[in-house]
Amino acid sequence: MELTLRLYAGDSYIDETTCIGLSLEREAYTPYTQLSASFLSTAPDGYGAVSRIELLLDDALLFCGTTDLVDCYWKNGAHLVKVRSRSFTAALAQNEFPQGMYTNITFAQLMTDFCQMPHVTYENETRTNYIAVKEGTTAWDCVVAFGYKLTDHYPYIVDNCVMLSPPAAPVQHTVDAAQVTAYGETADSTRIISHYHMEEIDGTPNAYESENAAAAASEIVRHKQITFDRQFSYFPMQALAFRNAYSCRQCRSKYLVYNGFGNEQIGDKVSFGAFMDNMTISRVLLTVGQQGVRTKLWAYQDEFYNK
């Protein structure tokens, strides 16, 4: 397994191939992949104005992202470079759309008519009747609304591509028990909202209400009041159904840690004996360090994954 850190300055680049430490994380509810890495440096005078960071695995592109941090330094007789980067899809959460109602528009049109985001691609040309944009709405907010209205699924990122629906033919991964170093289960109820109350479009309070069964089962009482959500004007209860589902994200999950890396993506399937039987992968963490190459995989069990 050969890792290469490629740092671009304009059209030119420098490759570093001696990895000191690295973490690469993909997560289903986060609109970007995150990279943190340290390599021995062959450019003691620096890299110039780094415009793009790539990570290659055996000459195949594993990651491509922004330059959040580049730190070139000398320590204990060696020159090193430390980087932090997020995939270019991070721009989706950093750009706000103009207010208004966008009608009869495709997914790609919605994303590209207002601003071009370099290296970001989109799953398909699916068309929706309308998308409502209020003050402070980000591009990622629009992606989430678009995806949920069309597929009842939460959008996710694969490399720098925005995906609306689960893969039709997910890649299958079987983990060898001899390589597994740990596995377990978690439960997290910190985000769950028990009751949503939404006013009518004319301001009438509590016109639409919902109760979260998962909260009731856990004896959780958390009420939230919201204004009328024009994103779901034709089906107001869908606004509450989405919020209930989203508040339950990551409420339960299974995980395992194994030696090695299989380049797992969000939406792939993983099997590990009877513990994980063809479950959908929701989070991937690759680490490289003194303990070697390790991968931790999570399979969430919530309203969007492994229900």
Residue 266 within a domain: yes
**Residues 57 and 95 placed together within one structural domain of the fold:** no
**Residues 150 and 123 placed together within one structural domain of the fold:** yes
Q: Using the predicted structure, report yes or no on whether residue 98 has a pLDDT greater than 90.
A: no
The Cα 210–Cα 37 span in angstroms is 45
The Cα 223–Cα 123 span in angstroms is 36
Contacts of 22 (CB under 8 A, 6+ apart): 3, 35, 36, 37, 38, 55, 286, 287, 288, 289
The Cα 297–Cα 25 span in angstroms is 10
Residue 234 within a domain: yes
What is the average per-residue pLDDT within 195-204?
A: 97
Q: What is the pLDDT of residue 106?
A: 82
Residue 56 within a domain: yes
- Residue type at position 170: P
Residue 58 within a domain: yes
Q: Please, which pLDDT band fits residue 200 given cuts at 50, 70 and 90?
A: very high
Residue 262 within a domain: yes
Q: What is the pLDDT of residue 139?
A: 92
> Tens of pLDDT along 117-132?
999 998 866 778 888 9
The answer to whether 131 and 105 have CB atoms below 8 angstroms apart is: yes
Q: Using the predicted structure, report yes or no on whether residue 258 has a pLDDT greater than 90.
A: yes
Q: What is the pLDDT of residue 21?
A: 97
Q: What is the pLDDT of residue 125?
A: 66
> Tens of pLDDT along 55-80?
999 999 999 999 999 999 999 999 99
**Residues 295 and 266 placed together within one structural domain of the fold:** yes
Helix (H, G, I), strand (E, B) or coil at 230: helix
Pairing of strands 156-158, 3-9: unpaired
Domain containing residue 136: 91-163
What is the average per-residue pLDDT within 193-203?
A: 97
**Residues 100 and 122 placed together within one structural domain of the fold:** yes
Residue 307 within a domain: no
Instruction: Please tell me the total number of residues recorded for the chain in this structure.
Output: 307
Q: Using the predicted structure, report yes or no on whether residue 193 has a pLDDT greater than 90.
A: yes
**Residues 76 and 180 placed together within one structural domain of the fold:** no
DSSP codes joined into one string, 19-74: EEEEEEEEETTSSS-EEEEEEE-S-TT--SS--EEEEEETTEEEEEE--SEEEEEE
Residue 305 within a domain: no
**Residues 61 and 153 placed together within one structural domain of the fold:** no
Q: What is the pTM of this model?
A: 0.95
* Structural domain count of the chain: 4
Neighbours of 129 (CB within 10 A): 10
**Residues 262 and 144 placed together within one structural domain of the fold:** no
Residue 306 within a domain: no
> Tens of pLDDT along 12-27?
999 999 999 999 999 9
